[in-house]
Chain A
Amino acid sequence: MGDNRLMIKVTVNDRLYELQVDPELRLVDLLRDELGLTGTKEGCGKGECGACTIIMNGKTVNSCMVLAFQADGSEILTIEGMGDGEELHPIQEAFIRQGAVQCGYCTPGMVLSAKAILDKNPNPSEEEIRKGISGNLCRCTGYQKIVDAIKDAAEVMGGGGDER
């Protein structure tokens, strides 16, 4: 299969990679299997659960719905790029504080969707938050503590936060 490989340049968590990729490789496989960034989870492979959510060029995408070679030239943020070394990102801290984590399999994708929500609007309403995470299925929490965590993070990050 090596014959058909394509050369791509992609920046992941501020690090530039130049890679040869098989055309049938999906972005989620590139991140997990080739770059070892297993924080990105796969839950369905069909864009139906959001577990593999990453931020690509500023927007959340399901990394199972992108071929790796399509990511050529893009900037990608995965869960491993949240926070600063050992320091957690305020969203991650809020998820812990609010008890928004149960089995944790949806959590990385959920955190990235949360970031996209707050990047767009630092002070989102509950409705905006719920819409913003509506592509991330969670089977454990019933979403309430996740919503609370995003509100909490908004407050900590200076957005002010919506009244409950």
Chain B
Amino acid sequence: MKGNIVGHSVPKVDAKAKVTGKALYATDLYMEDMLYMQVLRAPYAHAVIRKIDLAQALAVPGIVRIITKEDLPGLKNHGLIFKDQPALVGIGEKVRFTGDTLAIVIGESNIQVRKAIKKIKVEYDKLEVITDPLRAMEEDAVTIHTAGNIVCTHKLDKGDIVRGFMEADLIVYNEFKTQHVEHITLQPDAGLATLEEDDTICIWAATQWLHDTRVDVAQAMGLPVEKIRIIQPAIGGAFGKREDIIAQLHLAIAVREVKRPVKTIYSREESIIATSKRHPMIFRFRTGVKKDGTLTAWEATVIGDTGAYASSGPAVVHKGLYHCTGPYDCPNVRGVAYTVYTNNTYAGAMRGFGATQTAFAYESQMDIIAEKLGINPIELRLKNAYQVGSTTPNGQKLYASVGVKETIIKAVEAFERLGGVIR
């Protein structure tokens, strides 16, 4: 329902500050007496750390403090769904991907800090590196986390899949794969933290949910929630990446140790190596369809590579499964989704959250079916598209606002208006 203001494109409220360069992003925050922080990342994707030698690094002029896990024995893991991710990996512990952190280095300038990081010497024992989720699922594969490499399994079973395939005139099987995708938020990760007089840690760093970030930082450090305050600066792109704790926890640890404001800015390279990715997924789809194009059965196996840590993975991968038939009504659906650890950079939320990956698979499958049946792909879609009263693979009945057919019709019209010719 349009109103006097709703439904109209008013000037965006944040645009003026951004076009003038006045909007302050975390990178733009400065404080007197501020220190700079960078972290040392893992030298290898899967290894047990034996020794971290800081002597030469500490001798670099301007270095104020280097923090390792040994300084913080009480530090707990963090994570959005499972608490499986360490902010620091200590002696005798495992690094699980090349973005894991071994030391937090704090100094007077970024240049000095970077210099010191290069002078930290690490000794480690290499373990088998698993980069392929299918290898990770094999019995004899080394386990990346003690509970095993399969983080979780989700199931879907609607209607009667056996009957669905019996009713089919054509059964089509295909496997599809998607890749690791990086968000490329235009602002690399950055933040500034201070320690207030009452010991509250204030953190200015972009996040997609500051209250949840606060809780995760607090629980990892064993602090009461109210001792962490998160303030949102301007956000230089997110796309899901800024759901995970990125620099916030390291900053919080650092300010508590040095009791001076601490700032960090990741390099683009570090941001790409150490922060979340879109889950690569494997889809195995077996689809049953009648000659006239009516879908009768859809069987799906989904395998998602969540990398070294679960992050949002358990939710992302099964969202891919739950959306496996797309906007099409299919009475019989069965499927299973596996979320799997590997030693790749951890995968988390990214725009579409599993539904993006699965759409590539089901829309490819629909086109393949259309060709095999000799039906126009648009007709095949219109024939099966949801309408009010349809049920999703989860068995959810759709009551209203099911505009999928209209989107197809309107898109075709617009395309033809522009001079496009379909098929």
Residues of A within 8 A of B (CB): 24, 32-33, 36-46, 48-49, 51, 78-80, 82-83, 88, 92, 95-97, 99, 101, 103-108, 111, 137-140
State whether B186 touches A49 (Cβ < 8 A): yes
State whether B16 touches A96 (Cβ < 8 A): yes
Seed contacts A32-B28, A103-B234, A107-B19; 18 additional CB < 8 Å A-B pairs: A37-B21, A38-B21, A38-B28, A41-B25, A42-B27, A42-B265, A45-B268, A46-B268, A79-B20, A79-B21, A95-B15, A96-B16, A97-B11, A99-B9, A99-B12, A103-B186, A104-B17, A107-B21
In Å, the complex CA distance between A138 and B186 comes to 7
Contacts of B267 in A (CB 8 A): 45
State whether A101 touches B12 (Cβ < 8 A): yes
User: CB of B176 within 8 A of chain A?
Assistant: no
State whether A92 touches B19 (Cβ < 8 A): yes
20 contacts between A and B (CB under 8 A): A24-B111, A36-B30, A38-B27, A39-B20, A39-B21, A41-B236, A44-B188, A48-B268, A79-B21, A88-B16, A101-B12, A103-B185, A103-B186, A103-B235, A104-B18, A105-B237, A108-B19, A137-B186, A139-B186, A140-B186
| Chain B interface extent, by class | 20 to 34
Which of A79, A96, A105 is close to B12, meaning CB atoms less than 8 Å apart? A96
User: CB of B8 within 8 A of chain A?
Assistant: no
State whether B20 touches A88 (Cβ < 8 A): yes
Chain B proximity of A138: nearest CB distance (Å): 7
State whether B237 touches A140 (Cβ < 8 A): yes
State whether B111 touches A43 (Cβ < 8 A): no
State whether B11 touches A104 (Cβ < 8 A): no
Q: Which residue on B lies nearest to A32, using beta carbons?
A: B28
User: CB of B23 within 8 A of chain A?
Assistant: yes
Contacts of A37 in B (CB 8 A): 21
State whether A51 touches B186 (Cβ < 8 A): yes
Q: Which residue on A lies nearest to B234, using beta carbons?
A: A104
In Å, the complex CA distance between A78 and B184 comes to 24
Residues of B within 8 A of A (CB): 9, 11-12, 14-25, 27-28, 30, 111, 183-188, 234-239, 265, 267-268
Q: Which residue on B lies nearest to A33, using beta carbons?
A: B30
Which of B18, B21, B27, B234 is close to A78, meaning CB atoms less than 8 Å apart? B21
State whether A104 touches B14 (Cβ < 8 A): yes
Q: Which residue on B lies nearest to A1, using beta carbons?
A: B111
Contacts of A139 in B (CB 8 A): 183-186, 237, 239
Which of B18, B27, B111, B185 is close to A107, meaning CB atoms less than 8 Å apart? B18
In Å, the complex CA distance between A106 and B14 comes to 14
In Å, the complex CA distance between A82 and B235 comes to 22
Chain A proximity of B233: nearest CB distance (Å): 11
State whether B15 touches A96 (Cβ < 8 A): yes
State whether A96 touches B19 (Cβ < 8 A): yes
State whether A88 touches B19 (Cβ < 8 A): yes
In Å, the complex CA distance between A41 and B187 comes to 8
In Å, the complex CA distance between A40 and B235 comes to 15
Q: Contacts A42-B27, A44-B268, A45-B268; is A105 near B21 (CB within 8 Å)? A: no
Contacts of B14 in A (CB 8 A): 101, 104
With most chain B CB atoms within 10 A of its CB, the pick from A46, A83, A96 is: A96
With most chain A CB atoms within 10 A of its CB, the pick from B16, B19, B22, B25 is: B19
State whether A95 touches B268 (Cβ < 8 A): no
Which of A43, A83, A97 is close to B20, meaning CB atoms less than 8 Å apart? A83
Q: Which residue on B lies nearest to A97, using beta carbons?
A: B11
Interchain residue pairs A-B with the least CB separation, the first 8: A39-B21, A104-B18, A79-B21, A105-B236, A38-B28, A105-B186, A92-B19, A44-B268
In Å, the complex CA distance between A78 and B17 comes to 15
Chain A proximity of B356: nearest CB distance (Å): 15
In Å, the complex CA distance between A43 and B188 comes to 6
Contacts of B234 in A (CB 8 A): 103-104
Q: Which residue on A lies nearest to B16, using beta carbons?
A: A96
Contacts of B11 in A (CB 8 A): 96-97
Chain A proximity of B10: nearest CB distance (Å): 10
State whether B22 touches A43 (Cβ < 8 A): no
Chain A proximity of B20: nearest CB distance (Å): 7
State whether B111 touches A101 (Cβ < 8 A): no
Q: Which residue on A lies nearest to B21, using beta carbons?
A: A39
In Å, the complex CA distance between A137 and B235 comes to 16
State whether B12 touches A43 (Cβ < 8 A): no
Chain B proximity of A142: nearest CB distance (Å): 13
